[in-house]
Amino acid sequence: MPNHVLVEVTRGALVESVHRGAMAIVDVEGAVRFALGDVGAPVYTRSSLKPIQALPLIETGAADAFGVSQEEVALACASHSGEPMHTTRVAAWLKRIGCGEGDLACGPHMPRHEPTSEAMIAAGQKPSRLHNNCSGKHTGFLTVAKHLKAPIAGYVDVDHPVQQAVLTSLRRLSGIADPTWGVDGCAAPNFAIPLAAFARALAQLAGLRTPGAQRILSAMMAHPELVSGTGRSCTALMRAANGKAAVKIGAEGVYAAILPQAGLGVAVKIDDGASRGAETAIAIVLEKLGIIDSSTDLSRAPVLNTRGALVGEKRPAKALVEARI
């Protein structure tokens, strides 16, 4: 039984493309409050895992030992746009822990933020590993490695103490003993668990049922632009939620929301991996849960042509519009 269509993209009078997917909402007691589609098959959590990947930074005591700021905790949870506000902070943090760009295991890529990448091209600058959207997460990993006096080299090996600490946190929060893993875009291990289990883990963070949760949620909600970047979905949703949600997108159509006041975790996976689908799906759910105001219209987006004319719309499909969440 294929998953429902969650999001549709129109052009003129027709629906041109559709995004199927699954979604789970779980409460702090671990009860599934809402599920749509297959929430039992393992899905890679991708960058939506970052708030959990950042837990050892707090819970091992590494953050306190190295004077890690809340801005830096936000960067540890970030898929950032490579803007100067991101890269300068990551560089300073790396230096403070006695590391440098060369210690990062992630590869370089151009900043997602166009004005930044255009300025770099104009200046003849190549991207560094600092520009990798995961450089904050990796600096968090390095901070933990330093604190644990574990080797810096190989900190992204799944058997390294840092990754084992992440895995221990994920096991505890999700209840999944043995997650599948693959290699993420940034070379770190990424774990795959059922969507319902992922929502359960996020709900455990929402309920502050692990020591590091408060600090991670506060950091993300206080610094949405550091978790994401100028003009992006996570930034807009966290600003609109105004302290009621920490959200994190992941590659291949994943989206996570941690709702501390509601005591819920929400996990979305779009089958085809489209971010545009995940962004619309999470936004309508946050609207329905009263986390963001529907007047912000974050769950709908115009489709414009190259002349700027309105030619269609991206919107929630029937299964989400009619869902009793």
Binding mask 290-309 for a second copy (x = CB under 8 A): ---------------xxxxx
Helix axes 233-241, 213-222, angle to 10 degrees: 100
Query: Does 13 help bind a second copy (rule: CB under 8 A)?
Result: yes
Query: Does 14 help bind a second copy (rule: CB under 8 A)?
Result: yes
Tokens of 286: 């946050």
Query: DSSP alpha helices (H): ranges in the chain?
Result: 50-53, 55-59, 62-65, 70-76, 84-96, 114-122, 135-147, 161-174, 195-206, 213-222, 224-227, 233-241, 275-288, 318-321
Q: Nearest approach, Cβ of 175 to a second copy (angstroms)? A: 19
Q: Nearest approach, Cβ of 322 to a second copy (angstroms)? A: 18
Inter-residue contact 190 to 170 (CB < 8 Å): no
Q: Nearest approach, Cβ of 279 to a second copy (angstroms)? A: 14
Out of 34, 44, 141, 155, point to the residue binding a second copy (CB under 8 A): 44
What part of residues 216-255 is at the interface with a second copy (CB under 8 A)? 252-253
Q: Nearest approach, Cβ of 53 to a second copy (angstroms)? A: 16
Binding mask 58-97 for a second copy (x = CB under 8 A): ----------------------------------------
Q: Nearest approach, Cβ of 215 to a second copy (angstroms)? A: 28
Query: Does 160 help bind a second copy (rule: CB under 8 A)?
Result: no
Spell out a b/e string for 278-300, using b for 16 or more CB atoms within 10 Å of the CB, else e.
Answer: bbbbbbbbbbbbebbeeeeebbe
Radius of gyration of the CA atoms of the chain, in A: 19
Query: Does 277 help bind a second copy (rule: CB under 8 A)?
Result: yes
Question: Rounded to a whole number, what is the distance in angstroms from the first to the last CA of the chain?
Answer: 22
Nearest alpha-carbon partner for 198 in 281, 255, 259: 255
Tell me whether residue 295 or residue 306 sits nearer to a second copy (CB atom): 306
Out of 32, 91, 152, 192, point to the residue binding a second copy (CB under 8 A): 192
Binding residues for a second copy, rule CB under 8 A, total 49
Out of 36, 43, 63, 167, point to the residue binding a second copy (CB under 8 A): 43
**Length in residues, the chain:** 325
List Cα–Cα distances, 101 to 25, 116, 132, 176, 291, in angstroms: 38, 19, 11, 34, 38
Q: Nearest approach, Cβ of 222 to a second copy (angstroms)? A: 28
Query: Does 273 help bind a second copy (rule: CB under 8 A)?
Result: yes
Triad 291, 247, 72: Cα angle to 5°: 130
Residue 263 DSSP one-character state = T
Chain position carrying tokens 């789970």: 24
Q: Nearest approach, Cβ of 310 to a second copy (angstroms)? A: 9
Q: Nearest approach, Cβ of 291 to a second copy (angstroms)? A: 27
Chain position carrying tokens 């994943």: 254
Q: What's the rounded Cα separation, in Å, for the pair 83 and 229?
A: 7
Q: Which residues have CB under 8 Å from 13's CB, separation 6+?
A: none
Tell me whether residue 20 or residue 50 sits nearer to a second copy (CB atom): 20
Piece of the chain touching a second copy by CB under 8 A; list 18-26, 72-80, 259-267, 317-325? 18-26
Query: Does 125 help bind a second copy (rule: CB under 8 A)?
Result: no
Residues in touch with a second copy (CB under 8 A): 2, 9, 11-14, 16-20, 42-44, 105-109, 118, 121-122, 124, 132, 180-187, 190, 192, 252-253, 270-274, 277, 305-309, 311-312
